[in-house]
Amino acid sequence: MRIKKHPILEFPVKKKIEFYFEDKKLEARDGESIAAALIANNIRIFRFSEKKQRPRGLYCAVGKCASCLMEVDGKPNIMTCITPVKQGMKVKRQKGRGDLI
């Protein structure tokens, strides 16, 4: 969900772009992180842990905790909180350590 009105902040309308989450087309705004774009689309399960396949999502949002790692354009372990979302990007939930090949 996006904030429509705010007492002190203005969010100028930014260019809309499209990206894919688990092969589904979603809308994002130019200049935001992948994690922000997903949460704006009400998605907060980003990956499943290695040993017990427990769900994980965004935690620190500053590239320090590794909770938000996802597979982006085929590459695993991308910190989605400090990586900008791009037009046509393919984002997938990561399972365990992700596939390096």
Partner 1 sequence: MIRKVQMAVIGGGPAGLSAAVAAASQGVTVEIFDDNFIPGGQLIKQTHKFFGAKQHLCGTRGMDIAQILLDRCTQHNVIINQQATVTGVYANTLGVLYPDKFEEVEFKSLVVATGASENMIRFVNNELPGIYGAGAIQTLMNVFGIRPAQNVLMVGSGNIGLIVSYQLKQAEVEVECIVEALPQVGGYQVHASKIQRMGIPILTNHTIIRAEGNEQEGVTGAIISEIDKDFRPVPGTEKYLSVDTICLAVGLTPLADLLEQCGCKMTTISELGGRVAVHNHYMQTSRPDVFLAGDVSGIEEAVTATLEGQLAGLAAAKYMNIGNPLIIQNKMNEILIQLNEFRDGPFGEKATYGSQRLLKEYSYE
- Positions that interact with partner 1 (CB under 8 A): 1-3, 6-9, 11, 29, 32-33, 36, 39-40, 44-46, 49, 54-65, 67, 81-84
Instruction: State the Cα–Cα distance between residues 81 and 66, nearest whole angstrom.
Output: 9
The half-sphere exposure of 38 on its side-chain side, counting CA atoms within 13 A, is 28
Residue 8 CB, nearest approach to partner 1 (Å) = 6
Judge contact between 80 and 90, C-beta under 8 A: no
Phi-psi region of 60 (alpha: psi -120 to 50; beta: other; left: phi over 0): alpha
Residue 28 CB, nearest approach to partner 1 (Å) = 10
In the complex with partner 1, which residue's Cβ is closer, 42 or 101?
42
In the complex with partner 1, which residue's Cβ is closer, 20 or 82?
82
* 47: exposed, middle or buried (Cβ count in 10 Å: 0-12, 13-18, 19+): buried
In the complex with partner 1, which residue's Cβ is closer, 18 or 63?
63
Residue 78 CB, nearest approach to partner 1 (Å) = 9
Residue 20 CB, nearest approach to partner 1 (Å) = 19
